[in-house]
Amino acid sequence: MCGIVGAIAARPVAGILLEGLRRLEYRGYDSAGMAVLDQGTINRLRRIGKVQALADACEQQPLPGGLGIAHTRWATHGKPSEQNAHPHMSGEGLAVVHNGIIENFEPLKQELQQQGYVFTSETDTEVVAHLLDRELQGGFDLRAALRNTLARLAGAFALGVIHVDQPHQLLTARKGSPLVIGVGIGENFIASDQLALLPVTDRFMYLEDGDIALLEADHIQVWDAQGQVAERAVTTFERSQGSAEKGEFRHFMLKEIYEQPRVMQAVLEGRIASGHLLEQAFGAAAGAVFDQVKQVQIVACGTSFHAGMVAKYWIEEWVGIPCMVEVASEFRYRPVVLPRDTLLLTLSQSGETADTLAALRAVQDRVLATLAICNVPGSSLVRESDLSLMTNAGPEIGVASTKAFTSQLVALMLTTIALGRRHGLSGERETELVAALEQLPGLLQQLLALDGPIEEMSAHFAEKHHALFLGRNVLYPVAMEGALKLKEISYIHAEAYPAGELKHGPLALVDKEMPVIAVAPRNGMLDKLKANLQEVRARGGELFVFAGCDQSIQAQEGVHVIHLPALPAVLDPIAFTLPLQLLSYHVAVLKGTDVDQPRNLAKSVTVE
């Protein structure tokens, strides 16, 4: 994903911009560029490939000056090339960097071409540069030009703008894509992620959607979407928030569970706007691929496999095409039959899991296209796949995957919507799904309030050696993930079953020593699940039920119930996961195991 850095200072800014770009490398990119204003001239350098190539070019051709913008580009419109790299200019006087997608760039481009503007790139961004220039030619100042330009743009974006006639000002705006202002002393900055600016400041101002900000070296002015002057609080970054530190948390796993509301925001940012999905977030070639796909094959391991299992329910229900899911270690070693028009979807937190990579390599020449959903941008899986979607969860240190799983589910829901749109999913349904996704950050925040009751519940498991997880339908894979979490970190033997399978065997295991954890579905399956739960109670099994707020399951002797807050049913797999993560965490703490580094396990399984 693209990254933006900008600076206005009394000292040269090229070094600050380069360091900022290096710190944004984790987002993934294919080219980098920078424009710095010096004595009435904008000097621009762009290079394909790594930030280091841009740094080398800067050595050869230094860019002096105290006002500049820089960018790492992840191609969406037009191939990775120097011409398509940012910053983009209109004439010699105006430079723009952009993160996000301008959905209506084609009609805007035609309009501008008819008025004589010549385009030198294939990007959507160049439209912004020329629109700004047209407004300036019409007599507007840079801020008014930016406001008028924003009014013409559909999609999600963050922008940085400089102009030779305003050598002491850096303009910025955001709608749907991340952008933060770094507040310095006698100098100010912008970036896609505060991590880019930590060498120069620890004070940040977060812009709201639709905001425009004008930065001078010693002053920042913000206007809201209605054009009114707006106050945005400045907050100080606590170094303990750094992702490689636990901060106030006892374990990384707990920290990562608590990060999930923010992670939900990060995975959605730049992917949805005005109630619909931005398909270009999957890369320029995605639309054509999604059109032709006739079935999906998902391949993954462990937790990522469980995310794939959830997606199977979504894809078959909402897209109406077949979806197969298989663990990579099996898939890679058998003669699989894959119709040519298959989309191979690999899922991996690390992007380096040996079995998943081997599965990709084994069949990539036999399918229509490959799509990786991954948390590590430069990983092998991403590099070797045709399309990719980053989960943006940030580094996950705890071996037991938590935020990586829920962010995969969101990425998979976005993928399902993208596929569905090409296969008959109605606009209303898309709007409904996107509206539900938008509730996720707040919803997960509410779910964290269940931590206390779940910690109390965990005491029932401390002395147990086995546990059974039950789920139905789309919550069956969630039950599987719950069982995996419990066994990984507490070493309690746990298995998950589709609840309907209970009487086909596992019921024989149920007695008072076998706690049964059920995630209760909110579709027509609830009554069936209740019957299964009766079967457990009748054998003296103790039940722990996670239920929706409106479900008529009451606590009674031997039946413990935790109700989740009200939420759209489509979010159930994401929402029901969080309490199960907390349950395993607290059980593991009670048992005194090494929560973050459980015995015998590794974070990234790069060998067979």
By the 8 A CB rule, do 502 and 456 touch? no
CA 416, 421, 427: angle at the middle one, nearest 5?
Answer: 115
Q: How far is the CB of 451 from ligand AGP (least distance, A)?
A: 20
| Binding residue (CB under 6 A) for ligand AGP from 284, 338, 462, 605 | 605
Whole-angstrom CA distances from 487 to 441, 465, 491 are 28, 10, 5
Nearest partner of 24 among 208, 180, 151, judged by Cα: 180
Nearer to ligand AGP, 348 or 416 (CB): 348
Bridge partners (DSSP) of residue 8 are: 67, 188
From 153-161, 247-255, 344-352, 577-585, span contacting ligand AGP (CB under 6 A): 344-352
Least separation in angstroms between CB 258 and ligand AGP: 17
Give yes or no: 374 in active site.
no
Q: Are 524 and 539 in contact (CB under 8 A)?
A: no
Cα–Cα distance, 241 to 250 (Å, whole number):
14
Tell me which residue has its CB nearest to ligand AGP: 302
Q: Kindly tell me which residue out of 260, 353, 385, 416 binds ligand AGP, with binding defined by CB under 6 A.
A: 353
One residue of 66, 155, 302, 541 binding ligand AGP per CB under 6 A? 302
Residue placing its CB nearer to ligand AGP in the complex, 349 or 577 = 349
Residue 52 vs 604, nearer CB to ligand AGP: 604
Instruction: State which residue, 90 or 401, has the beta carbon closest to ligand AGP.
Output: 401
From the list 348, 388, 406, 532, which residue makes contact with ligand AGP (rule: CB under 6 A)? 348
- Is 530 among the catalytic positions? no
Rounded to whole angstroms, what are the CA distances from 252 to 32, 246, 256, 309, 597?
A: 33, 6, 6, 26, 10
DSSP assignment of 430-456 equals HHHHHHHHHTHHHHHHHHGGGHHHHHH
* Neighbour tally for 480: CB within 10 Å: 22
Residue 59 structure tokens: 């050595």
| Cα 411 from Cα 349, distance rounded (Å) | 12
Total residues interacting with ligand AGP, rule: CB under 6 A: 15
Residue of 123, 172, 401, 584 that binds ligand AGP (CB under 6 A): 401
Rounded CA separation 70/96 (Å): 9
How far apart are CB 601 and ligand AGP at their closest, in Å?
Answer: 6
Q: How far apart (Å, rounded) are the C-alpha atoms in residues 456 and 219?
A: 51
CB neighbourhood size of 446 (10 A): 16
Query: From the candidates 2, 301, 323, 374, which is the catalytic residue?
Result: 2
d(CA 168, CA 13) in angstroms, rounded, equals 13
Report the amino acid identity of residue 395: P
Identify which of residues 84 and 356 has a Cβ nearer to ligand AGP in the complex.
356
Q: What angle do CA 282, 284, 288 make, to 5 degrees?
A: 90
The H or E element spanning position 589 is helix 572-591
- Report in angstroms how near the CB of residue 254 gets to ligand AGP at its nearest: 14
Lay out the site mask for ligand AGP across 461-490 (x = CB under 6 A, - = otherwise). Answer: ---------------------------x--
**What's the min distance (Å) between Cβ of 4 and ligand AGP?**
29
CB atoms within 10 A of CB 239: 10
For ligand AGP, give the closer residue by CB, 42 or 357. Answer: 357
Select the residue interacting with ligand AGP from 356, 370, 391, 407 (CB under 6 A). Answer: 356
- One residue of 301, 389, 413, 433 binding ligand AGP per CB under 6 A: 301
**Residue from the set 197, 400, 454, 475 that interacts with ligand AGP by CB under 6 A:** 400
Collect all residues with Cβ–Cβ distance below 8 Å to 64 and sequence separation of at least 6.
Answer: 12, 14, 36, 38
115-123, 141-149, 302-310, 536-544 -> range binding ligand AGP (CB under 6 A) = 302-310
Of 265 and 604, which has the nearer Cβ to ligand AGP? 604
* Site stretch for ligand AGP (CB under 6 A), options 223-231, 297-305, 460-468, 507-515: 297-305
Q: Which residue out of 528, 530, 591, 603 is catalytically annotated?
A: 603
- Nearest in space to 532 (alpha carbons), one of 502, 506, 496: 502
Classify 478 as helix, strand or coil: helix
Compare residues 283 and 302 and give the one whose CB is closer to ligand AGP. 302
Among 159, 281, 372, 399, binds ligand AGP (CB under 6 A): 399
Site string for ligand AGP, 551-590 (x = CB under 6 A): ----------------------------------------
**Least separation in angstroms between CB 1 and ligand AGP:** 19
Report the 3 state secondary structure along 138-176: CCCCHHHHHHHHHHHCCEEEEEEEEECCCCCCEEEEEEE
Cα distance between residue 364 and residue 427, in whole Å: 32
407 is an interface residue for ligand AGP by CB under 6 A = no
Q: What is the largest CA-CA distance in the chain?
A: 84
Which of 372, 545 has the CB closer to ligand AGP?
A: 372
SS3 per residue for 500-514? HHHHHCHHHHCCCCC
Q: Which amino acid is at 508?
A: A
The distance of closest approach from Cβ of residue 354 to ligand AGP in the complex, given in angstroms and rounded to an integer, is 9
Judged by CB under 6 A, the residue of 188, 201, 342, 349 near ligand AGP is 349
Identity of the residue, 401 or 551, whose beta carbon is nearer to ligand AGP in the bound complex: 401
Whether residue 75 contacts residue 126, with contact meaning beta carbons closer than 8 Å, is answered with: no
**Candidate residues 31, 99, 194, 303; the one interacting with ligand AGP per rule CB under 6 A:** 303
Q: Look at the block and give the residue holding tokens 């707040």.
A: 442
Rule CB under 6 A: which residues touch ligand AGP?
Answer: 301-304, 348-350, 353, 356, 399-401, 488, 604-605
Catalytic site residues? 2, 603
